[in-house]
Amino acid sequence: MPRLYLTWFIEPEDPHYWDFFSIDGLVVSMKSIMNMRQHRGVHRLTRLLSEGFRRFYGYNGPLIVDSMTQPLHAVGGLQVSHLSQAQVLYTQYVLGSDILVHRDYPILHVKDHEVRVKLFSRNLINAEAALRFGESLGREVMLVVQGWNLDTYVKCAQYYRDLGARYIGVGSLVPHKGDASFIINVVRAVRDVLGGRVHLHLFGVGSLNMLREVASLVDSVDVSTPAIAAGKKEVLIPSGNGIIRVKVNSMSGISMLKERLESTNDSIESLLIGRILNAESLKEENRSVMLYNAYVLTRHKALILGS
């Protein structure tokens, strides 16, 4: 079964899931780290970089810090970030990321073919440079496969394979979350190119149902569903062979939570449901729902990833 990483945001700060239950790992948003200076001040960001993520937040599990720093903006026909790849990789390193993630540029949303080709080439160039940078730090690097169709995803994967990469991720599939066949075909094709010895990570695809379809093809995945669902006032509840989403403030949602509370022998689940039902503010309710949603996915991950 793949390792299930939870996406975690520093700013605004998500609940500390690990204080309540064991988790498989965290994928921390680099963009949210960069937002700390604006919202919390430079001193707090400096402390984080000095102490590292684990010491600063009291977290001891697997950790990946991603490479997306901010929404990309156009400069001279290309989309660029305000941080260089070397800065991104070194920031990941000092934060304590187990694996560094190369600075990739999403292509799926780009309509201009010439710009697509330029971004594709930049990803390949960055990949080779990232591996050298990681080697100098004694740290593994995850290269992120990007493309705008099946052929370019395959070509990118082949290039990374030939570079000798041991960790590869598949990115930018969220825009295709409604196209199951495209996502399945891309992930399967990338796995076929890499073989079974390369660790393949699937960056969030935005659909729990989709994860089950591709789980056997990957070694790890990350999900932001706990926070996204909570933002929509939705709570995740195990039901039969799957997990359903219901409005937390609806009659059916409250009823189902109370039924779970009465029937469960799980002390953690009881605690988290109680926090939702007894929340004294919308903010407290939202954070409690995030906690419970994360626990449900972690505790019942076989329902979405298979056994």
What span, in angstroms and rounded, lies between the C-alpha atoms of 24 and 281? 30
Domain total in the chain: 2
Question: What pLDDT is attached to residue 35?
Answer: 83
Question: What pLDDT is attached to residue 77?
Answer: 40
Q: Do 112 and 192 sit in the same domain of this protein?
A: yes
| H/E stretch holding 75 | strand 73-75
Average pLDDT rounded to a whole number, residues 1-20 = 94
Tell me which of 180 and 236 has the higher pLDDT: 236
- Show which of 191, 223, 255 is a domain's final residue: 223
Question: What pLDDT is attached to residue 73?
Answer: 38
pLDDT at 107 over 70: yes
Alpha helix ranges (H) inside 58-171: 85-95, 113-137, 150-163
What span, in angstroms and rounded, lies between the C-alpha atoms of 89 and 74? 22
Q: Give the three-state DSSP class for 78.
A: strand
Question: What pLDDT is attached to residue 176?
Answer: 76
Q: Do 297 and 165 sit in the same domain of this protein?
A: no
Average pLDDT rounded to a whole number, residues 67-80 = 48
Question: What pLDDT is attached to residue 101?
Answer: 97
Q: Do 38 and 97 sit in the same domain of this protein?
A: yes
Average pLDDT rounded to a whole number, residues 31-48 = 84
Q: Do 238 and 160 sit in the same domain of this protein?
A: no
Mean predicted lDDT score pLDDT of the chain: 91
Residue 52: pLDDT band with limits 50, 70, 90: very high
Range of the domain at 122: 3-223
pLDDT at 44 over 70: yes
DSSP secondary structure string for all residues of 255-304: HHHHHHHHH---HHHHHHHHHHHT-SSHHHHHHHHHHHHHHHHHHTTHHH
pLDDT at 80 over 50: no
Tell me which of 26 and 105 has the higher pLDDT: 26
User: pLDDT tens, 119-155?
Assistant: 999 999 999 999 999 999 999 999 999 999 999 999 9
Domain annotation covers residue 285: yes
Q: Do 27 and 115 sit in the same domain of this protein?
A: yes
Question: What pLDDT is attached to residue 307?
Answer: 65
pLDDT at 69 over 60: no
Q: Do 279 and 201 sit in the same domain of this protein?
A: no
Q: Do 168 and 254 sit in the same domain of this protein?
A: no
Residue 16: pLDDT band with limits 50, 70, 90: very high
Residue 72: pLDDT band with limits 50, 70, 90: very low
